[in-house]
Amino acid sequence: VKYDTRDEVFVAGARAWLEEIHESDITSFSWVLAHSPGYYPSTLRDLWLEELQRRTLAATHEPVGPVAAASLPVGHPLDYDWRFTEGARSTLLACLDQTTIAGEAIAYLGTPTLFAQAVSSVGDRRHVLVDANGPMVEALQAGIGANRAIQLRLGVEPPPPALAVDAAVLDPPWYPGDTLDFMEAASAMVRPGGVVLLSQPTLATRPGVQAERADLVATSGQLGFKLERTLGSGLRYVTPHFERMSLTAEEPGFPVSDDWRTGDLLVFRRTSSEARTLPRRTRADSESWREVSFGPVRMKLRGAGAGDLLKVDEGLDRLVTVSRRDPARDRVGFWTSGNRVRTLQSVEAVGSLVAMCENDLVHMTFTHSRTRLQAAQFGLDHRVADDLFEILLLEYQEHVAGGYGDLA
Ligand SMILES: C[S@@+](CC[C@H](N)C(=O)[O-])C[C@H]1O[C@@H](n2cnc3c(N)ncnc32)[C@H](O)[C@@H]1O
């Protein structure tokens, strides 16, 4: 389901953008995706095909690009884990270099990869990360060996007390409520005169961004921040494994480039000296999930939908969008880092069974018959054991193929 194509004005904007592209470039989908201001690839692809038809042009045949390897834990859709490209990290580090001086402190809210690079390459500033992603924070703590990475869910838990910084970089999930949670936390930390660098969706990301942006700037004013400048499409993201899997599930062989997603960089200055808060808001996505893993594969579990490991909707193996507005999400209780989704009721039993399977994987004894035997110990029937075995095997292979198989 493509929610953005239901908005006629948004679609007209995308068509107008495509119409402007020169004939020598329009036949290459890679070119169009690489220069797009952020349209979702499968939406862009449909409109691009229409545009080729209108101009009676044929598409250029292109090879699919290589996938990115990663040494950090694979991203999970529930963490909205879109990581910066090297270029985006350089842009942000250059901004921090201009706006802070030696000895000053910088907070990284939801920006773990930037934090990791800053810690290793900008030794004369102090750096602190606040992020909700447990496995990511643990991996960074293990690498850095200090408590400068704090695991905390902003908007649900209060920001760390007495954390005063001179600048902050924020990359919240791209929804207005989450962005305000992050801005409110920054308001409690950043000193007057300090800078906040915030990543936000471009106007092409989805319909309604323009109105959201106006609200954000107004509410940030109430929090004591003044927007100084906006760098349109100033940041780029590496296509995460879950998004690649969604796009190729929708259309096998879909030519997903490594860095099609782009974001606007907003630069705010703290103008007020008092910490300010906003009226309490209801949170859209505050359910608690338990996390388990199988080698590089991450799975989030909660009780939702009817039965164990059943399809959430007829024929639906993976979510084909990563949108929070997808109504199927309410019935998801088992969600992999490959964006495969199922219902789940026996959270404890399935969680324990996955832990046993992971132990078997490490000891090279992971087999179908052992999974069935162990399932019986937890009161789970053969069908659940069979389905889990198949999912774990498939996911493992897909993660390894995507460059996430390093268990060392
Ligand atoms: C869009 S990703 C940004 C990652 C960043 N681009 C990078 O490369 O470092 C969002 C990040 O915010 C974190 N996050 C999401 N919701 C959060 C919350 N409520 N509090 C703290 N961190 C959160 C996620 O774990 C994830 O690391």
Model pLDDT for residues 75-89, shown as the tens digit of each residue: 999 999 999 999 999
How far apart (Å, rounded) are the C-alpha atoms in residues 180 and 81? 18
401, with CB counted inside 10 A (0-12, 13-18, 19+), is: exposed
pLDDT value for 65: 36
pLDDT value for 258: 86
User: Phi and psi at residue 318, in whole multiples of 5°?
Assistant: -125, 155
Torsion 338-344-348-349 (CA) sign: negative
Q: What is the whole-number distance in angstroms between the Cα of residue 222 and the centre of ligand 1? A: 24
Tokens for 196, please give them: 């906040």
Nearest residue by C-alpha to atom 24 in ligand 1: 79
Q: What is the whole-number distance in angstroms between the Cα of residue 173 and the centre of ligand 1? A: 6
Give residue-wise pLDDT tens across range 344-398. 999 999 999 999 999 999 999 999 999 999 999 999 999 999 999 999 999 999 9
pLDDT band at 285 (very low <50, low <70, confident <90, very high): low
Q: Is the CB of 243 under 6 A from ligand 1?
A: no
Nearest residue by C-alpha to atom 15 in ligand 1: 79
Residue 64 has pLDDT above 60, yes or no: no
Residue bearing the bigger pLDDT, 285 or 44: 44
Residue 40 has pLDDT above 70, yes or no: yes
pLDDT value for 407: 47
Q: Is the CB of 174 under 6 A from ligand 1?
A: no
Q: Is the CB of 207 under 6 A from ligand 1?
A: no
pLDDT value for 286: 61
Q: Which of 79, 85, 258 to mutate to test the pocket of ligand 1 (most atoms within 8 A of CB)?
A: 79
pLDDT value for 408: 39
Q: Is the CB of 113 under 6 A from ligand 1?
A: yes
Range with lowest mean pLDDT among 76-90, 272-286, 393-407 = 272-286
Q: Which of 72, 82, 131, 235 to mutate to test the pocket of ligand 1 (most atoms within 8 A of CB)?
A: 131
Question: Could you give the residue ranges of the DSSP H alpha helices within 256-296?
Answer: none
Give residue-wise pLDDT tens across range 358-371. 999 999 999 999 99
Nearest residue by C-alpha to atom 11 in ligand 1: 110
- Read off the pLDDT of each residue in 210-234 and give the average, rounded to a whole number: 96
Tokens for 371, please give them: 């999974």
pLDDT value for 284: 60
Nearest residue by C-alpha to atom 6 in ligand 1: 83
Q: What is the whole-number distance in angstroms between the Cα of residue 263 and the centre of ligand 1? A: 14
Residue bearing the bigger pLDDT, 204 or 59: 204
pLDDT value for 7: 86
pLDDT value for 328: 84
Q: Which of 74, 76, 78, 80 to mutate to test the pocket of ligand 1 (most atoms within 8 A of CB)?
A: 80
% of the chain exceeding 90 in pLDDT: 65
How far apart (Å, rounded) are the C-alpha atoms in residues 126 and 129? 10
Residue type, 131: D
Range with lowest mean pLDDT among 41-45, 68-72, 399-403 = 68-72
Residue 151 has pLDDT above 70, yes or no: yes
% of the chain exceeding 70 in pLDDT: 93
How far apart (Å, rounded) are the C-alpha atoms in residues 369 and 349? 17
Strand segments, DSSP code E, in 72-164 are: 83-84, 105-109, 126-131, 149-151
Q: Is the CB of 195 under 6 A from ligand 1?
A: no
Residues 6+ apart with CB under 8 A from 363: none
Tokens for 40, please give them: 């979702």
Nearest residue by C-alpha to atom 12 in ligand 1: 110
Q: What is the whole-number distance in angstroms between the Cα of residue 183 and the centre of ligand 1? A: 13
Residue 59 has pLDDT above 90, yes or no: no
Residue 102 has pLDDT above 60, yes or no: yes
Q: Is the CB of 298 under 6 A from ligand 1?
A: no
Parallel, antiparallel, or unpaired: how do β-strands 290-294 and 297-301 relate? Answer: antiparallel
pLDDT value for 5: 73
Q: Is the CB of 82 under 6 A from ligand 1?
A: yes
Range with lowest mean pLDDT among 69-78, 229-238, 267-276 = 69-78
pTM of structure: 0.85
Average pLDDT over the chain reads 89
Q: What is the whole-number distance in angstroms between the Cα of residue 307 and the centre of ligand 1? A: 31
Residue bearing the bigger pLDDT, 339 or 401: 339
pLDDT value for 69: 34
What is the CA angle 209-211-213, rounded to 5? 65
Q: Is the CB of 153 under 6 A from ligand 1?
A: yes
Nearest-atom number in ligand 1 for the CA of 113 is 9
Q: What is the whole-number distance in angstroms between the Cα of residue 169 and the centre of ligand 1? A: 11
pLDDT band at 74 (very low <50, low <70, confident <90, very high): very high
